A and B are shown apart, each in its own frame.
Chain A
Amino acid sequence: MVLKSISLINFRLHKNSSLNFSEKINFIVGGNGQGKTTLLEAIYYLTTTKSFVATTDADAVRFGERSFELNGEFKNQTENKIRIFYSKETGKKQIFLNKKQIVKSSAIIGKFPVVTLTQADHYITKGYPEERRKFVNSVISQASSTYLNYLIEYNRILRQRSSLMQRIKENYSEKLLNEFDAWTEYLISNGVEIVKHRLSFVKEFNEYLKEAYANIMLQEEIPIIKYKFLETSDEKNAEEFFRKELRARRDDELRRAANLVGPHRDEFRFYFNNLELRKFGSQGQHKTFQIALRFAQFFYLKDKLNKTPIFLMDDIFGELDAFRSTKISEYLGKIGQAFITLTDFSNYEEILNAENDKLIKVENGECVYE
C-alpha cells in the first residue's frame, strides 16, 4: 500500500500543506517544533483515525482556528481517499472513505496498516508490563478485528465486575454474589479467547523477531518474547487455570473490589540470549530490540493482511550511528514506503541514495521539496 498524497488544513502548525510522496523513502527534515512530526501524525490519523501522541482531537486544531481537515490518497490495488474533519464546536470527528461517511472507526482499522517507530518505543522495552501488553494488543488488533472485539468486550466486563464488587463491599448479599459469579463466568469465557490469541501470536511473532534481528539489525543475539498465562503456555489449560486462580483469589478480589486475575495482568517478557532485556540490556540492546519489534510487526502485518504497511519513523536516526542508519534506510527502500523524520540532514547525505527517494523540508508549518 502506498500513500500518494496528503493535505493538512489547520492541523497544528500547518495552515495548508499539500504534499506528494515518493513510493519509497520520504525524508522529512526540520528543526524541533517546526511541524515535521506533525506530518507523521497526520498520516497516522488518516490510517487509524487517532493520533500517536497522547492528545485530544481539539489539541490538534491550529491555534485560533475552529476545525482541522486531513486528506489522504492511498493506492493499493484500488485507490482510496480518506478525509477526516474535526470541528471544535461540535466536538465531532467525521471520517469519510471515498466520500462516504464511516460510522465505526473500527471499519478502517487494518484497512491501511501502519507501523510506527518513535522515541516513545523505549517504554515498550523499559517500561511497565502494561506497555508490553499495549504493544501486543495493538499488533494483534491490527491483524484481527475478532481479537479487538474480544478486548473491547473484556474491558467492559472488567468495569462491570469491579463496579459490582464495590457494591458487594458496601452492601453484602447472597443475591449479589450470584450476579458476581455470572460476571466471573463471562470473564472466563472472554478472557480465554484473548489468551488463545496471545499464545498463538507470540509463537508466530517470535519467528519474525528472530528474522528481523538477523537480517536487519545484523545481530547474532537471539531475541524472544516469553509469554505464559498463569504458568501455562498450553491453550488447552487456559480455562482450567483461570477458573482455579479466580476461585483461589475470590475473597481477596471481593475484599479489595478489584479485578486481580486475568489476561489484563498478563506479562510479556523480552529476552535476548536467554537474558531478560529489562534487567540486563544495555542502551544499545534496548534500541536494537525496539527497532526489531517494529520490523517484525511490519512483516507480520504484511503476511496477515496481505498488504504492505506504511512505515513511520520519528527522529530515530539521531540515536544510531551512520552505518546503522544507512543499512536501515536501504532496507526500508526495498520493502515499501517509509516516512522518516530527521532533525539535521547534513550527517546523512549518503542515505539519500535511491533516485526515487524524496527530501521534504519543514519550517514553521511550511513544506518545501528539496
Chain B
Amino acid sequence: MQIAEPLQIAIDELSKLPSIGKKSALRLALFLLKSQPDEVDNLVKAILDLKRKIKFCKICGNISVEDECEICSNPKRDRKIICVVEEASDIIAIEKTNEYNGLYHVLGGVLDPLKGVGIESLNFASLLTRIENEEVKEILLALNPDAEGEATSIYLARQLKARGVKVSRIARGLPIGGDLEFADEATIGRALINRTEL
C-alpha cells in the first residue's frame, strides 16, 4: 500500500525516537492526525522550546536553562565532592533520594570499544580540568553496573588516584529498599560475594 508522503515522513521521524518501533510510530502519527490543530501546535512548541531553551551546563554537563546549572550555581552544595554519572538523567535519579549534596559530572557515556567509544569521546578531560582548578577532595563514581560501566569505573579510578584524588563508588548489589525475595538470584549472589565487613 502507498502511504501519503507527509504521513510516511512523520512515521520515519517518530520511529527514530527511543523505544518507538514502526508500528507505534504509525499509531502516534494517526493520533496526531486526528488531534485538534492547537494541540499539535502546543506539542511542536514544547519540542522546539526544549531544544532552544534547554542547554547543557558548561561545567558539569547537566541539563540547564542557564549556562551553569542549578546545582553548580548553588552555594549550599558541597564543592569538595563530585559524583560522576553516565547521563544527565542519572542526576535526576540521585537528586530524588535527597541523600547527596555534592556536585556532579556527566561523562556522556562509558568506554565501549565495540561501539568505538574511547575516553576521547567522553567528557573526561573537563573532569580533570575541574580537579585541577577546583578544591575537589573526593570523586564518587556512580556508573551503571554493567561490563562497560565497570571497566570505565576502573579506568577513572586509576587515572584519578594517580592525581591524588580520593575515589569511591556507590555500592553494587541489592536495590535499596528492595526485598531480598524480589531481587533476582544473580543479584543476591553477587551481593553475597561482594559482601562488606561491618
Chain A residues proximal to chain B, CB less than 8 Å? 106-107, 144-146, 148-149, 153, 156-157, 159-161, 163-164, 167, 175-176, 178-179, 181-183, 185-186, 193
Contact = CB atoms under 8 A, between A and B. Distances in A.
Contact of B148 (A160, A185, A193): A160
B118 A175 contact: yes
Given A106-B186, A146-B190, A182-B111, 18 more contacts: A107-B184, A145-B185, A146-B185, A146-B186, A149-B186, A149-B190, A153-B146, A157-B147, A160-B113, A163-B114, A178-B119, A179-B118, A179-B155, A182-B151, A185-B151, A186-B147, A186-B154, A193-B193
B126 to A, nearest CB: 16
B39 to A, nearest CB: 33
B191 to A, nearest CB: 10
A183 B190 contact: no
A161 B155 CA distance: 13
A160 B112 contact: yes
A149 B146 CA distance: 11
Query: Which has the most chain B C-beta neighbours within 10 Å: A106, A164, A181?
Result: A164
A186 B186 contact: no
Interface residues of B, number: 24
A108 to B, nearest CB: 12
6 contacts: A153-B147, A160-B151, A163-B114, A175-B118, A178-B159, A181-B158
B118 A182 contact: no
Contacts, number: 68
B150 interface: yes
Given A149-B189, A175-B119, A164 B113 contact: yes
Nearest to B114: A163
Contacts of B185: 145-146
A163 B115 CA distance: 9
A159 B146 CA distance: 14
Contacts of A181: 158
Nearest to A162: B113
B151 A157 contact: yes
A168 B143 CA distance: 25
B152 interface: yes
Given A145-B189, A146-B190, A181-B158, A159 B118 contact: no
A3 to B, nearest CB: 23
A185 B154 contact: yes
Contacts of A167: 113, 118
- Please report whether the interface of chain B is mostly helix, strand, loop or mixed according to DSSP: helix
B186 A145 contact: yes
Contacts of A149: 186, 189-190
B147 A160 contact: yes
B120 interface: yes
Interface in B38-72: none
A107 B182 CA distance: 12
Interface in B149-169: 150-152, 154-155, 158-159
Contact of B155 (A144, A156, A157, A178): A178
Contact of B114 (A107, A144, A159, A175): A159
Question: Which 9 A-B pairs give the minimum distances between C-beta atoms?
Answer: A146-B189, A182-B155, A164-B113, A149-B186, A163-B113, A156-B147, A182-B154, A145-B185, A145-B186
Contacts of A161: 113
A149 B120 CA distance: 30
Contacts of A107: 184
Contacts of A176: 118
Interface string B73-86: 00000000000000
Contact of B150 (A148, A159, A186, A193): A186
Nearest to B188: A146
Contacts of A148: 186
Interface string B172-198: 000000000000111011100100000
A12 to B, nearest CB: 30
Nearest to A181: B158
Contacts of B151: 157, 160, 182-183, 185-186
Contacts of A160: 111-114, 147-148, 151
A176 B111 CA distance: 11
B174 to A, nearest CB: 13
A132 B28 CA distance: 52
B112 A175 contact: no
A303 to B, nearest CB: 17
A167 B118 CA distance: 10
Nearest to B147: A156
Interface string B90-114: 0000000000000000000001111
Contacts of B188: 146
